Amino acid sequence: MSEDAEQPETVRTRPWRGRTVSLTPIEPDDAELVQHWRADPVAAHEIGIWPGSLHELRERIERWTDDRSRDDFLVLLPDGTPAGHVALFDEDIADGTAAAYLLLAPEHRGRGHAVDALAALTDLAFGELPMQRVEAVTHTDNDAALAVLAAAGFVQEGVRRSACLHRGRRYDSALLSLLREEWEAQTRPRSWEHV
Ligand SMILES: CC(C)(COP(=O)(O)OP(=O)(O)OC[C@H]1O[C@@H](n2cnc3c(N)ncnc32)[C@H](O)[C@@H]1OP(=O)(O)O)[C@@H](O)C(=O)NCCC(=O)NCCS
């Protein structure tokens, strides 16, 4: 038996739940997985990721874990399979504002996991943290992200023209937000009601 085979598999805690998925805090050892997801051409295009070393990403995740202005999570499927990365970042407790980040592995897209994970993330922002507003920015032609954000209750506020550059072309970005009162009006079960 190899040394690796003798190691017990690490069991991730699931401190925050969605309807189907759950969220577990991201760790520096997740860097390789996150690097793999970020290399997906759709993610690289939509989020604006350019190639970087695994070492640099690991150091960045180490900084995230110390950073009080962000909360990063792996999205776990019911069997524990990591399926993506979601985060609240730019958390400003004084103004009650934060931004949402969302990335699912290509093989786990199209099954409702993103809406579930984003709903859980907004439950954290408004039910546990004192946020008044969570915003999200995405390319105006990112139909998947716009559909997910709309399904989670986000409202489009406007368009930031020529906001980013990718492969020599400039793209417009849509700015969306979910306010506390809109989250309060949602009738779906909250994260803490899922067992
Ligand atoms: C955006 C992203 C997280 C969506 O994940 P997903 O698993 O496909 O989303 P879901 O399965 O939860 O889809 C939810 C809704 O979006 C719709 N949708 C998904 N892909 C779509 C597409 N390409 N065009 C139109 N609608 C789409 C689904 O039909 C579903 O709507 P419905 O409930 O009315 O049927 C995923 O595509 C991704 O990781 N993309 C790369 C990174 C990115 O763009 N991040 C967003 C930056 S804010």
Query: Domains along the chain?
Result: 12-193 (3.40.630.30)
The string of pLDDT tens digits covering residues 49-84 is 888 899 999 999 999 999 999 999 999 999 999 999
DSSP code, position 30: G
- CA 26 – ligand 1 centroid, Å: 22
Question: What's the whole-number average pLDDT of the chain?
Answer: 93
Contacts of 161 (CB under 8 A, 6+ apart): 172
- β-pair type (169-179, 155-166): antiparallel
Q: Give the pair of three-digit tokens for residue 102.
A: 């969302």
β-strand partners of 178:
134
The string of pLDDT tens digits covering residues 86-125 is 999 999 999 999 999 999 999 999 999 999 999 999 999 9
- CA 141 – ligand 1 centroid, Å: 12
